[in-house]
């Protein structure tokens, strides 16, 4: 997810505008043993999986499903025949393909679980149909297109007693798990501030993905089915392959990128929902017909007693990095997306007296400095920063999927179930509500709604 290398991280140490980049010249601490990927399951123990949506993310999820060794790839459904051809290539022709009829996939009795990787506007409808069909569901983030969607989805999963895993896979990394343990153990003291950023600087990173040159509506593509519950409009291929630029199908930066950061912050800090969000942003550079902002900044207040500052721009990636920094009274902890380490910097708590007493007479200054441990406080240095290595046995997407397949077999609750996924997405929706309204948004925990 990040284009940063470790060398970049060190080199850019003193310039991080979002506070994510730190000088890393301290000692390195050996990695804790990584959680192993489970052994490949026997054919009879594998989960039979269908895939609904096989665009960029669906393609990645199928490959990572294969890598887990825990599932059989049974059928894939998509509205573009080219995606189905690619699914056939990936499976050497073994997977069944389904052109734009996902209900037929759900009707198959030999499919245990489905992976939903469609655009956001289809998530609720397909999820509810999957629950009605008795399927367990892995659904890509954001779980919802609107806050209200989450309530119906949670209730459907509860009634159907189905397993759900929402796909913000970073929480399955050793990096996130190590950070959670350190903060829970009090190693950072009281964390009062979290700084997070997710930046890009390319046209494709800003969702201007290529459109297949052979795309023909009514021939190898079904626009009506793709549009589904979204407002009706004339065929527009840009809306299909660049859908995150438009409100009808996506929440833009907040639900594509911020949701990863929000979900990890909730997991690491043991938080559920922000009590309020205020945001600002705009289209500052990429005037390419998009409706959602290309630059977005948000401030979250949490009832647990900490604030989060979150930012993203699609117009620069040179200084701020991609990740999260936790600022505590005893130290700070920095996580960069996709990197096998954390950076810990302790606080010295040393007092600097010279500035505040230099206006006193010299004799009075000396008297003060000779009292107690005032001189010791002046000379005490902060502890050397540490690079805490972490190591995953496999990409976090594969680990996240493996947890889901284990849940399907054991009926053990997943780490990112429908309630967790709903809250992460809802916090992202609050950012967009504030951006559009130009006002602070309050979370009403009693009704489970956002108030403007």
The CATH number of residue 83's host domain is 3.40.50.720
pLDDT in tens, 235-263: 999 999 999 999 999 999 999 999 999 99
Residue that is last in its domain, among 170, 204, 232: 170
Question: 22: pLDDT confidence band, cut at 50, 70 and 90?
Answer: very low
Task: List beta partners, residue 75.
Answer: 50, 96
**One domain for residues 161 and 63:** yes
pTM, to two decimals: 0.91
CA distance 181 to 165: 22
Write out the two tokens for 307.
């604030």
Residue that is last in its domain, among 122, 141, 170: 170
How many separate domains does the chain show?
2
How many beta carbons lie within 10 A of that of residue 315, not counting itself? 13
Q: Answer whether residue 355 is part of any domain.
A: no
**One domain for residues 326 and 181:** yes
**One domain for residues 150 and 294:** no
Q: Answer whether residue 132 is part of any domain.
A: yes
Average pLDDT taken over every residue of the chain:
91
**One domain for residues 246 and 161:** no
Question: 376: pLDDT confidence band, cut at 50, 70 and 90?
Answer: confident
Residue that is last in its domain, among 170, 196, 229: 170
Distances (CA, A) of 150 to 35, 147, 155, 273: 31, 6, 8, 14
For residues 195-214, average pLDDT: 97
**Domain of 288, in residue numbers:** 6-33+174-348+383-393+419-451
How many beta carbons lie within 10 A of that of residue 375, not counting itself? 12
Half-sphere exposure of 47 (CA within 13 A, CB side): 29
Question: 16: pLDDT confidence band, cut at 50, 70 and 90?
Answer: very low
**β pairing state of 386-389 and 27-29:** parallel
pLDDT at 371 over 60: yes
Report percent pLDDT > 70 for the chain. 91
**One domain for residues 305 and 268:** yes
Q: Do 422 and 144 contact (CB within 8 A), yes or no?
A: yes
Q: Do 397 and 405 contact (CB within 8 A), yes or no?
A: no
pLDDT at 2 over 50: no
Question: 20: pLDDT confidence band, cut at 50, 70 and 90?
Answer: low
For residues 93-115, average pLDDT: 98
Q: How much is the pLDDT for 35?
A: 60
């Amino acid at each position: 997810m990040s284009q940063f290398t470790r060398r970049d991280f060190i080199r850019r140490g003193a310039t991080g505008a979002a506070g994510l980049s730190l000088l890393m010249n301290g000692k390195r601490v050996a990695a804790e043993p990584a959680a192993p990927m489970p052994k490949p399951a026997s054919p009879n123990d594998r989960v039979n999986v269908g895939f609904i949506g096989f665009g960029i993310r669906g393609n990645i999820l199928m490959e990572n499903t294969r890598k887990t060794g825990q599932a059989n790839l049974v059928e894939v459904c998509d509205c573009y025949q080219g995606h189905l051809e690619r699914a056939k290539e990936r499976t050497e022709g073994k997977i069944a393909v389904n052109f734009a009829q996902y209900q037929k996939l759900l009707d198959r009795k030999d499919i245990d679980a489905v992976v939903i990787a469609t655009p956001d506007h289809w998530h609720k409808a397909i999820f509810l149909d999957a629950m009605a069909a008795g399927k367990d569901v892995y659904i890509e983030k954001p779980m919802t297109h609107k806050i209200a969607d989450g309530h119906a989805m949670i209730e459907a999963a509860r009634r159907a007693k189905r397993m759900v895993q929402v796909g913000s896979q970073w929480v399955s990394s050793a990096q996130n798990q190590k950070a959670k343990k350190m903060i829970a153990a009090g190693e950072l003291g009281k964390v009062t501030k979290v700084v997070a950023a997710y930046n890009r600087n390319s046209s494709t990173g800003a969702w201007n993905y290529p459109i297949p040159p052979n795309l023909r509506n009514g021939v190898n593509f079904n626009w009506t089915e793709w549009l589904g519950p979204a407002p009706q409009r004339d065929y527009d291929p840009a809306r299909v392959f660049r859908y995150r630029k438009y409100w009808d199908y996506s929440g833009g930066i907040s639900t594509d990128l911020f949701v990863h950061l929000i979900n990890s912050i909730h997991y690491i800090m043991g938080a559920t929902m922000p009590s309020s969000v205020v945001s600002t942003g705009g289209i500052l550079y990429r005037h390419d017909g998009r409706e959602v902002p290309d630059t977005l900044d948000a401030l979250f207040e949490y009832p647990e007693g900490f604030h989060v500052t979150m930012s993203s721009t699609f117009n620069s990636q040179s200084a701020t990095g991609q990740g999260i920094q936790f600022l505590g009274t005893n130290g700070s902890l920095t996580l960069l997306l996709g990197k096998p380490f954390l950076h810990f910097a302790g606080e010295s708590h040393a007092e600097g007296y010279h500035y505040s007493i230099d206006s006193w007479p010299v004799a009075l200054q000396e008297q003060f400095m000779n009292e107690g441990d005032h001189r010791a406080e002046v000379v005490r240095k902060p502890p050397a920063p540490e690079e805490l290595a972490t190591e995953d046995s496999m990409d976090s997407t594969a680990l996240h999927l493996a947890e889901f397949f284990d849940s399907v077999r054991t009926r053990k609750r997943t780490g990112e179930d429908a309630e967790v996924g709903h809250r992460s997405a809802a916090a992202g929706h609050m950012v967009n509500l504030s951006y559009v309204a130009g006002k602070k948004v309050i979370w009403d925990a009693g009704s489970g709604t956002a108030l403007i």
